[in-house]
Amino acid sequence: MMPSGQKRKIYTIQLYDRSMHLGIKTHIMGILNLSPDSFYDGGQFTDLPQVVQKAHQMVKEGADIIDIGAESTRPGSTPVPAEEQIRRLVPVVKRLREEVPVPLSIDTYKAQVAKTVLDLGIHIINDISGLHFDSQMATVLACYKAPVILMHIQGTPRDMQKSPRYQHLIPEITRYLKKGINKALEAGISEDQIIIDPGIGFGKTLAHNLEIIQRLTEFQSLDKPILLGPSRKSFIGQVLDLPAAERLEGTAAAVAIGITAGAHIMRVHDVKAMVRVARMADAILNPQQHN
């Protein structure tokens, strides 16, 4: 854990039309799912007016980034073809780029999807495979000088929760992320355009997820901003014996502890509540900023 008063390292990410400074405060990334089968909010935002309204609501509640996904990556999910993702994403991206003032991220591991949305001015690509699933993704990102979030996953969404095993959890995740970083650098992606995510819930047991949050500071060895995505996930349900709809408090606990362990970005469903959690955690860690 970061000792009280210790500041996170500050990183500057260059986006399409602005800069983003990570580490001064915790950034909240709001989740906007367009897929009908996401584990928590699947099917809630399937028509354009609903999606636009939800995005504006998240901005009003304090979201720093909005992460848009058109393919569920919940355990056991079936891949969605790139063409269908593009069909879902294009009208949404066009509207939100015109209307929403915060950076927009697209959750995809498919290069074809990434290229299409980057042409429309999307700021960040969030790749759950850490550049391991699509050999063209790193080249596309380098061409657009786009920042990328590299996440760790064991297996694929369809099979990742079938008995995930590790000999040495944190070193294995670190090696996987390092391989993704090297792929990015070899393709020409700038060193300071990379964010890492240890992948809570993606090929991990309850014990693995708890250990990742407990030992999150160890990922600072990669010298990259850290994103954490614990929001309403099954490990919280396992601890509290609660369904996804009742995991707000458990999410808040994971977010607060993740911030104390050095996370720069929190990817969440409940923007309003988690902005408040983050502001309080930031104030406790750096009280001099609030005197």
Q: DSSP state, 10?
A: P
Q: pLDDT digit string (tens) for 125-135?
A: 999 999 999 99
Q: Give the mean model confidence (pLDDT) for residues 166-182.
A: 97
- Report whether pLDDT(217) > 70: yes
Q: DSSP state, 226?
A: B
pLDDT interval class at 162 (50, 70, 90): confident
CATH-assigned architecture of domain 11-290: Alpha-Beta Barrel (3.20)
Q: pLDDT digit string (tens) for 73-114?
A: 777 677 889 999 999 999 999 999 999 999 999 999 999 999
d(CA 286, CA 280): 10
pTM for this prediction: 0.93
d(CA 31, CA 135): 26
233 part of the active site: yes
- Report whether pLDDT(72) > 90: no
Q: How many of the other CB atoms lie within 10 Å of CB of 224? A: 23
Which residue of the set 8, 88, 233, 247 is catalytic? 233
Q: Please compute Rg for the chain using Cα positions.
A: 17
Q: Locate the domains of the chain by residue range.
A: 11-290
Helices within 78-228 (DSSP H only): 82-99, 111-119, 137-144, 169-187, 206-214
Which residue of the set 267, 272, 276, 279 is catalytic? 267
267 part of the active site: yes
pLDDT interval class at 158 (50, 70, 90): confident
- Evaluated on CA atoms 229, 232, 235, 236, the torsion sign reads positive
Q: pLDDT digit string (tens) for 35-71?
A: 775 444 544 556 899 899 999 999 999 999 999 998 8
